[in-house]
Amino acid sequence: MSDTPTALRGQDTTGGGRQSAAASAARRDARLRWLPLLPALVYVALVTQVPFLLTIYYSLFNWNLLRPGKPQFAGVENYATVVTDPSIRTALLNTVVLTVLAVGISVFLGVAIALLLNKEIFGKGILRTLMIGPFLVMPVAAALIWKDTLLNPIFGLVGYLLSPFGLGRVDWVSQYPMATIITIEVWRWTPFMMLIALAGLQSQNLEVLEAAGVDGANALQRLRYITLPFIRPFVELGALLGSLFVVQTFDSIFMTTQGGPGEATTNLPFLLYLVAFQGFDIGKASAIGVVAVLITMIVATLALRTLFTIFQVEARR
Amino acid sequence: MSRPVALTRPRLNGAKVAWSVVAWIIALVFFFPVLWMIVEALKTEPQAASIPPTILFVPTLAEFQEVLSRDFPPFFINSAIATIGSTLLVVLLGLPAAYALAIRPVAKARDVLFFFISTRFLPFAASLVPLYLLARDFQLLDNVFALILIYTTINLPLGVWLLRSFLLELPNELFEAARVDGAGFWTELTSIVLPLITPGLAATSLICLIFSWNEFFYAVNFTSSVAATSPIFLVGFISGRGLFYAKLAAAATLASLPVLAAGWIAQKQLIRGLTMGAVK
């Protein structure tokens, strides 16, 4: 396509004609290449971008579906409410605490268990199958099982098992609500982290490890200086994807604590649910939405940058 | 200095047994709630809520029958329609898009890819209110069709990424040969891509299945009775204090079963799908 057009054009007009025909064919081809992409692109743009623009628009109005009357333009009033509202600060803090702790602990446990399952042990396949169970169970179902059959102070199994230690009557869900939510999320996301770390471990070159062993590196040194650096990008990928999902935690909170007691476990998604679907405050819910997007964009930009280094996205053809 | 490697050999079996025991204990702790859910579902109501817990009992399918013979099936069917419908849409829209990002890439393939995946991580707060109002105005509240559209939106970015990563693995020569023969988009898609992409389609469908089947936020806010899905059925048990534990467990088991089964059968595709094709 790039065979020196200027030289050709100077000498031969027919050659130049062929050249521009080829160029326009290439342009046509370049445009045609977009065709298979368009339906998906238009769909995603329509269902995500247009509503987001509407969210920004609605956030400038004083509009509650429960109150009669038309929406009234309110400028940045909703944002003023959002910024000064202490329950939003609480929700933001709860979101950070939940995300950091749940992801942090699941990454730690996930890597540890992956290292364990990568050893020579009996029944690896079955162990992995058992381990991914928590990730596959419907989150709403899992939350119910945890709350009612395991953590209930009277009928729960945990209370029964701990009663010899004097912890029998602890009402975990209402006394330690955040710890309960974090426990359920850790239980759910550890298998996810484990799967990714295990995939990393299994792609490791064993000869390097053996060579290090021959050179006198002990097991701990091999882990610290060879294995962990090797699986680091995998773990980072898991942590990033996990964070983006855990930030949106809603199911387990809805099913166990309903955001309470008080606001103890109200995170941003749950607050949004309360404002939008209990209060039907369209303007305020939209403002929260815009703020949430801004926060997510900051986190996601960092996340995506890492993702792209991992994927090494390059045009192959 | 050169530590004899052979020294570790005799201890190997002891170590293997020890590590195996540790691994099994941990795995069983993690699996226990899943197991307990299934065990409770096989009990009668008094057994399920008894303290001390009933360990030895004659398993019964009575609660499963009870749940299935009464109000659960419509919820299950709605879940199936929303899941299958959105998965089909994802493949239908996603495969051509992946083709245009991998086989004959458009000029800005990287930017498009970035755009797709960024929408997956947009918080639902971004579009929730307008989508709700639109659904209300188009009479789509409590309509499975709205869920199909929303789940397609959730899964399409992942679907495009995944399918693209599978398409990139197809050998270049196949397409070069086809192009010499003058094959266009449709010929390539139907005679080369489709026959070879089956594992990719399976992985993509599995991920769509997991996310749509387990989805709760939109389901609980956009449906009420007619279009309610399986997780909404479980909300009915939210305040059960010692009552209906067996029924709760049976419903929870039934609701979780499709994803559990699919995920267990297709573990390899699961890893690849969850990491958007980055980890094989």
Please indicate, yes or no, whether residues A94 and A26 belong to a single structural domain of this protein. Answer: no
Question: Residue B128: which of A244, A276, A304 has the nearest Cβ?
Answer: A276
> Does residue A283 belong to any structural domain of this protein?
yes
Q: Which residues are bridge partners to A62 per DSSP?
A: A72
For chain B, what is the HEC assignment? CCCCHHHHHHHHHHHHHHHHHHHHHHHHHHHHHHHHHHHHHCCCHHHHCCCCCCCCCCCCCHHHHHHHHCCHHHHHHHHHHHHHHHHHHHHHHHHHHHHHHHCCCCCCHHHHHHHHHHHHCCCHHHCHHHHHHHHHHCCCCCCHHHHHHHHHHHHHHHHHHHHHHHHCCCCHHHHHHHHHCCCCHHHHHHHHHHHHCHHHHHHHHHHHHHHHHHCCHHHHHHCCCCCCCHHHHHHCCCCCCCCCHHHHHHHHHHHHHHHHHHHHHCHHHHHHHHCCCCCC
B residues 131..160 contacting A (CB < 8 A): 131-134, 149-150, 152-153, 156-157, 160
pLDDT at A186 over 50: yes
> Does residue A79 belong to any structural domain of this protein?
no
**A311 falls in which pLDDT band (50, 70, 90)?**
low
pLDDT at A83 over 60: yes
Phi, psi for residue A73 in degrees, rounded to 5: -65, 130
**Contact partners, residue A240, CB within 8 Å, separation at least 6:** A303, A306, A307
> Does residue A44 belong to any structural domain of this protein?
yes
Partner A contacted by B55 (CB < 8 A): no
What CA–CA distance (Å, rounded) separates B123 from B35?
33
Which residue among A72, A107, A122 closes a domain?
A: A72
Closest CA to A59 of A71, A44, A41: A71
Which residue among A21, A38, A72 closes a domain?
A: A72
Q: Are B108 and A315 in contact (CB under 8 A)?
A: no
**Per-residue model confidence (pLDDT) at position B252:** 93
The sign one gets for the Cα dihedral A220, A224, A228, A230 is negative
**A4 falls in which pLDDT band (50, 70, 90)?**
very low
Please indicate, yes or no, whether residues B153 and B252 belong to a single structural domain of this protein. Answer: yes
pLDDT at B120 over 60: yes
Please indicate, yes or no, whether residues B50 and B154 belong to a single structural domain of this protein. Answer: no
The per-residue pLDDT for range A285-294, each reduced to its tens digit, is 889 888 888 8
A residues 246..305 contacting B (CB < 8 A): 247-248, 250-251, 254-255, 268-269, 272-273, 276-277, 282, 285-286, 288-290, 292-293, 296, 300, 303-304
**Per-residue model confidence (pLDDT) at position B261:** 92
Please indicate, yes or no, whether residues A95 and A237 belong to a single structural domain of this protein. Answer: yes
Mean pLDDT of chain B: 85
> Does residue A82 belong to any structural domain of this protein?
no
pLDDT at A233 over 90: no
Please indicate, yes or no, whether residues B30 and B109 belong to a single structural domain of this protein. Answer: no
Please indicate, yes or no, whether residues A218 and A105 belong to a single structural domain of this protein. Answer: yes
Please indicate, yes or no, whether residues A235 and A306 belong to a single structural domain of this protein. Answer: yes
CA of B130, closest CA in chain A: separation in Å? 5
Q: What is the residue-wise DSSP string for A235-261?
A: HHHHHHHHHHHHTT--HHHHHHTTT-S
Please indicate, yes or no, whether residues B70 and B55 belong to a single structural domain of this protein. Answer: no
**A312 falls in which pLDDT band (50, 70, 90)?**
low
Which residue among A72, A104, A120 closes a domain?
A: A72
Please indicate, yes or no, whether residues B266 and B229 belong to a single structural domain of this protein. Answer: yes
Please indicate, yes or no, whether residues B223 and B148 belong to a single structural domain of this protein. Answer: yes
pLDDT at A8 over 50: no
Mean pLDDT of the region A143-154: 87
Which residue among B63, B84, B111 closes a domain?
A: B63
Please indicate, yes or no, whether residues B155 and B251 belong to a single structural domain of this protein. Answer: yes
Please indicate, yes or no, whether residues A192 and A231 belong to a single structural domain of this protein. Answer: yes
Please indicate, yes or no, whether residues A64 and A92 belong to a single structural domain of this protein. Answer: no
Domain count, chain B: 2
Of A39-48, A251-260, B239-248, which gets the smallest average pLDDT? B239-248
What CA–CA distance (Å, rounded) separates B46 from B52?
12
Domain count, chain A: 2
Please indicate, yes or no, whether residues B220 and B93 belong to a single structural domain of this protein. Answer: yes
Mean pLDDT of the region A251-259: 91
Highest average pLDDT, of A42-51, A70-79, A100-109, comes from A100-109
CATH of the domain at A290: 1.10.3720.10
Does ipTM exceed 0.95?
Answer: no
**Per-residue model confidence (pLDDT) at position A82:** 83
> Does residue A26 belong to any structural domain of this protein?
yes
Cβ–Cβ gap A152/B241 under 8 Å: yes
**In chain B, which residue's Cα lies nearest the Cα of A127?**
B27
Please indicate, yes or no, whether residues A273 and A176 belong to a single structural domain of this protein. Answer: yes
Please indicate, yes or no, whether residues B20 and B80 belong to a single structural domain of this protein. Answer: no
Structure tokens that stand for A279 in this block? 């209060």
> Does residue A80 belong to any structural domain of this protein?
no
Please indicate, yes or no, whether residues A157 and A256 belong to a single structural domain of this protein. Answer: yes
Partner B contacted by A239 (CB < 8 A): no
> Does residue A316 belong to any structural domain of this protein?
no
Residue with the larger pLDDT of the pair B187 and A196? A196
Please indicate, yes or no, whether residues B182 and B250 belong to a single structural domain of this protein. Answer: yes
Mean pLDDT of the region B110-125: 81
What CA–CA distance (Å, rounded) separates A28 from A22?
10
Mean pLDDT of chain A: 83
**A16 falls in which pLDDT band (50, 70, 90)?**
low
CA of B7, closest CA in chain A: separation in Å? 12
**Boundaries of domain holding B175:** 66-274
**Boundaries of domain holding A161:** 87-311
Best B67, B128, B141, B209 residue to mutate vs chain A (most A CBs within 10 Å): B128
Please indicate, yes or no, whether residues A183 and A248 belong to a single structural domain of this protein. Answer: yes
> Does residue B280 belong to any structural domain of this protein?
no
**Per-residue model confidence (pLDDT) at position B257:** 93
Please indicate, yes or no, whether residues A199 and A261 belong to a single structural domain of this protein. Answer: yes
pLDDT at B119 over 90: no
Cβ–Cβ gap A155/B241 under 8 Å: yes
pLDDT at A315 over 60: no
> Does residue B279 belong to any structural domain of this protein?
no
**A303 falls in which pLDDT band (50, 70, 90)?**
low
Which residue among B40, B63, B86 closes a domain?
A: B63
CA of A214, closest CA in chain B: separation in Å? 7
Structure tokens that stand for B279 in this block? 């980890």
The sign one gets for the Cα dihedral A126, A127, A133, A135 is negative
Please indicate, yes or no, whether residues A40 and A187 belong to a single structural domain of this protein. Answer: no
Q: What percent of chain A has pLDDT over 90?
A: 26
What CA–CA distance (Å, rounded) separates B155 from A257?
28
Of A57-66, A87-96, A105-114, B207-216, which gets the smallest average pLDDT? A57-66
Please indicate, yes or no, whether residues B138 and B258 belong to a single structural domain of this protein. Answer: yes
Chain B contact set for A42 (CB, 8 A): none
Secondary element (H or E) of residue A62: strand A61-62
Highest average pLDDT, of A156-170, B35-49, B122-136, comes from B35-49
Please indicate, yes or no, whether residues B15 and B118 belong to a single structural domain of this protein. Answer: no
What CA–CA distance (Å, rounded) separates B220 from B142?
10
Residue with the larger pLDDT of the pair A184 and B100? A184
The per-residue pLDDT for range B247-269, each reduced to its tens digit, is 889 999 999 999 999 888 888 88
In this prediction the pTM is 0.85
Please indicate, yes or no, whether residues A146 and A37 belong to a single structural domain of this protein. Answer: no
pLDDT at B79 over 80: yes
**In chain B, which residue's Cα lies nearest the Cα of A256?**
B238
**In chain A, which residue's Cα lies nearest the Cα of B176?**
A317
pLDDT at B181 over 80: no
**A220 falls in which pLDDT band (50, 70, 90)?**
confident
**A304 falls in which pLDDT band (50, 70, 90)?**
low
> Does residue A175 belong to any structural domain of this protein?
yes
